[in-house]
Structure formats: C-alpha cells, structure tokens
Chain A
Amino acid sequence: MSIIETRDLVRDFKKTRAVDRMTFSVQPGEAVGYIGANGAGKSTTIKMLTGILKPTSGHVRTCGFDPMRQRVEVARRVGVVFGQRSQLWWDLPLRDSFEILGAIHRMDEQVTRARTDLLVEQLEMGPQLGTAVRSLSLGQRMRAELAAALLHSPELLILDEPTIGLDVLSKQRLREFLVAERREEGTTLLLTTHDMGDIERLCDRVLVVDHGRLAFDGTLNGLAGTVGAQRIVVIDLAQPTPDLVDVPGATLIDSESDGLRQRFAFDSEATTVAAVLAHVSSRHEVRDLTVKEPDIEDVVRRIYAASGRG
C-alpha cells in the first residue's frame, strides 16, 4: 500500500489553480524531496494530504485514509513539522509538551517516557527539557518540534521547510538525526525545502512542482542530468599557468590572474572531482580547490525554463 497517493489532484483558489492534476505516489520508507518556487503549490498539496484543505477535485489518500473524512486516523499516523508554526506549549517546560502530546495520542505513559528519552538523547536535548519553550533558541526549538512530530512514531513524517533560518551546525544536526531516525524506524519522509543540502543529504527521490504541476519526478542525479546542471570546480595553482583546456570530462569556463585560478564545469556522469584534480596536479602544483554544487534554485529555474515558464 502506498503511504501517499494522489490522482488528478486539483485545488483552485478563487481565480488561480494552485494544484493542477497532480498525480504521484510515495511508497513506505521512501524519502521524497518536494521542491518548487514560492507559490508553486507545495504547501497547498501538504494541506490536502493532511486534511486541512479540501481538494477541488481528484483523489488523495494518506496512509490509506481519506484525509478529509478520516482526519483523526490520518493524524494518528502522520507527524508534521511546519517550520513557521509550533506545536509545542509556549510557556511550559519542553518536557511537558511531550507529556501532553503523548496523552493526546493516547500513548501509554511508559511508552511516552521511553520514546521521549530516546528522542531527547538522539537530538541531544537533555539540558533543555526543563526550559520553557519560549526560551529555546530557534535551532533547539526545531529539534524539539521534530521530536514532538515523531513522538507517536508516525508512519509518515512531513517536514515543511524544517531548516529555514537555521545556522549550518543546527542544519547539520537536524539532518544527521533524520538520517539515523529513518535508518532505524523506516519512517517515510516528505520534505519541502529551499535548501539543496536538505535534499542531497536526506532524499532519494525528488518531485519538482511548477505552477501546481509536477514538472519532474525522479532521482536527484537524474534531475541534475535532465536539466544539464553541472558541478563547478575551482582550482588555484601555485604558478601562473596557461589555460588548461585538455582536462578530460571537464570544460574550462574561465581563468583569472594569468591562470592562477581556473574554473571548470563538469558532469557527474562524465568525471569526478578527484579525476579532475589528479589530472591537473600531475602537471601543475595545486594550492587550493573548491567545488560548487548545482543549487536548487538553479535546477528549478532550468526546469521551469525548459517547460516554457519561469
């Protein structure tokens, strides 16, 4: 059985069509990144999946249930984190939020406690348990939100922009936790984000939505391949060097300062950073190297451009 199934899902707001004949399904254990520009229809889809918003037409099933008619059944099986909203009790110590959520989900007290302990340990939140939620930092709060969404061991975890506003270290911890959680529990993940790092580290499948329509459904590499998004490697050399035009699999984009810095573009399918570096360093002394990944905005822009919008 699919965890998420939509068929010809449509949602109209007064004059605009926010979601347009969306058809996709997500199998148990998958980790799916759901990306697109602001207003492309991501949040609208999530609201329909969770029973907050009624579809104009089409078919939607979440964990096998109709989210509109069987809201409670869906709520028991799904955990949701909205980056911009909180599900915690603002003026209570964090510990209390877990206790209340456990009761709301009709969990046995011992189960609640064991599950809380486990999540708190994995998310390294022990010192914050006695702190009022309003006094937590954003990074701490997002980890707490994640723990709250996972407390009842949902089959499906939906994260709407979970890393928005977080610093690099906080993002890193959040992602590491999610990877470990999924490895152990096999939780299905649906994630919307503007951060390519989230997708790369967490997702094995990407859905790109453009003006309410599914513009791409496949792997991340496939996505980059489809639109010809290339990785960029910048090599700094010790001596001024003539342009290196003969690196196999890579194309020279430009060079600076008499060839002290040279930039190459390459396709992941054709070669690797290591091969490029090996080739260059066998002939010249290399001082530094940076790799620039294709960013999500760029990839999405290309997809939009290819489909004649944007």
Chain B
Amino acid sequence: MKTFVLLARAGFRRHSTYRLALLAGMTTNCVFGFIRAAVLLAALASAGTSIGGYDAPTTIAFVWWGQALLGTVNLWGFAEVKERVRTGDIAVDFLRPVDPQITYLAGDLGRAWINLLGRGVPALLVGALLFDMAWPPSAASWASGAVSVVLAVVVAFAGNFIINLLAFWLVEIRGITLLWMITGGLLCGLYLPVPWFPDWLRTIANWSPFPSMLQNPIDILAGRVVGADIASTVGVQVFWAVALLVLGQFVLRAGRRRLEVQGG
C-alpha cells in the first residue's frame, strides 16, 4: 500500500512538472466547454426543455464536468508502456519485485489527481461562474460521484494498458490506438450524452466499457442519476474496472511469456 501511494505520488509529480502543458490543457478545455455548451443548449432549445432526462442546467453540468474530467480520465490513452515494450525497457519492469500493471495504475492515479487539480477544477469553476449549472443534489451524490471518477480513471487506464500491451505482438499499434480513441470518444459520452444517442447506438454504448469512463460519473455529478440508481451506475463501473484489470493481467502474462520465448 505504501508502495502504491509513493508510486501515485511519483505520477503526480511527474505530470506536475509540465505546468505549461497543464495551463494549455486547461485553456483548451475551457474554450471547448463554451463551444459545446452553446451547441448543446441550441439542440436542447430546438427539442423542447429536456432530452433524455437532461434539462438546461444538467446539460451545462454535463458539458463542464465533461471538460473537467477530460484530462483527469485518460480517454486518449498513453504510449509509455507501448514504448517500453518496443524498446525492450519493459524488461526493467519485470526485474522489480512489483507487478507492472499495479505500478502503472498507481502512476496513472497520480497523473489523474494533478490533472483534476490543475485542469479540471479551474475548468469547472469557469463553467460554474459563467453558466447556470446543476450541482450534485446531495452529499451522497458528491461522495459517490468522487468514487465514480476514481473508477472512471481505473477503467480508462485498464483499457489503455491492454491496448499498449498489444505492442508485444504488433510492430505498430497506432491504428488500434486511433480506433480506440474514435470509438471511445463517441461512446463514452464526450460529444453527446449517451442518453441522447439513438436506441441502437445507446445499446452498443451500454454494452461497452466506454460510458464507465465518463458518462457514469457525469450522470451522478450532474444529478441525472440519483438514489438507488447510483448503486447500479457505480456497479457497472466496478464490473468493468475488475474485468479489464483481470484481462490486463492475462495479457501481461502472455506478453511476458512472449518476451521469455523471443527475447527482449
């Protein structure tokens, strides 16, 4: 546990050294926040007062929580592990008495925390100051929302970790990464709330892990999901977090066997 905390702190510090990147990220998040808020409010106005349980204040909350969590949850993925597999540096990870997946997860939680503080909270404040935004309706919503955000970070990490590990078998995984980004960006509810999707697309989304990376925490924090529904929303995330981490362990082991057989 102490090891985990220290590794998370290291992730936090690594990413906090790039202050300019944080500032640039925050600015981008804010600009896109304005654009998305304008577009979605216009769509809402033309459709009536509410779509799929979202009225104007919850739509604003959807937009700005989305912008706030965009850097926190690593939706676009990372290339560090892929690079280490490609260069063979992954061998160094296997020479340590710790599990590589847990090590990288800890680092990613640290990265998420600095991004939440450095990019997320400022973006959220901008949205809150300039728009009429719905807030979590209760302390329970705040608390379960926080848990849900952590789970979203874990699900996104676990999925991306598996994608990175494919580098054990494929020379180039850029195509797969791109596919993941496009599919994930749409299905996680970044562009449009998942409840706004046509039925068939919503069904696909709900069978995928992607809403667990963004839509679920936003639903709780925007107050669209309340009461007993919170448990099932978080439950789905727990399922995907566990499933993807376990799958990741299998892929990691297979990757290590490949290294053992082929040399690294």
Contacts and interface: CB of A to CB of B under 8 A. Distances in A.
Interface of A: 13, 44, 47, 50-54, 68, 71-72, 75-76, 78, 80, 82, 85-87, 89, 91-92, 96, 99-100, 103-106, 132
B261 A92 contact: no
24 contacts: A44-B263, A50-B95, A51-B94, A51-B95, A54-B257, A54-B261, A76-B97, A80-B95, A85-B88, A85-B89, A85-B92, A86-B92, A89-B10, A91-B17, A92-B13, A99-B6, A100-B7, A100-B10, A103-B3, A103-B6, A103-B7, A104-B103, A105-B97, A132-B17
A85 B91 contact: yes
A158 to B, nearest CB: 10
Main secondary structure of the interface of B (DSSP, over half): helix
A119 to B, nearest CB: 18
Size class of the B contact interface (CB-based, 8 Å): 20 to 34
Interface in B242-260: 257, 259-260
Interface of B: 2-3, 6-7, 10, 13-14, 17-18, 87-89, 91-92, 94-98, 103, 257, 259-264
Given A47-B264, A91-B17, 6 more contacts: A13-B262, A51-B94, A52-B260, A53-B259, A75-B97, A104-B3
A275 to B, nearest CB: 49
B10 A92 contact: yes
Contacts of A53: 259-260, 263-264
A106 B5 CA distance: 12
A72 B102 CA distance: 14
A68 B13 contact: no
A135 to B, nearest CB: 11
Given A52-B91, A53-B263, A75 B10 contact: no
A94 to B, nearest CB: 13
A103 B92 CA distance: 16
Given A103-B7, A106-B3, A92 B91 contact: no
Contacts of B3: 103-104, 106
Contact of A52 (B6, B10, B95, B98): B95
Contacts of A106: 2-3, 97
A159 to B, nearest CB: 13
Contacts of A76: 97
9 cross-chain pairs, A with B, having the tightest CB-CB distances, nearest first: A54-B260, A103-B6, A75-B97, A103-B3, A72-B97, A52-B91, A76-B97, A87-B92, A91-B14
Nearest to A158: B95
A96 B92 contact: no
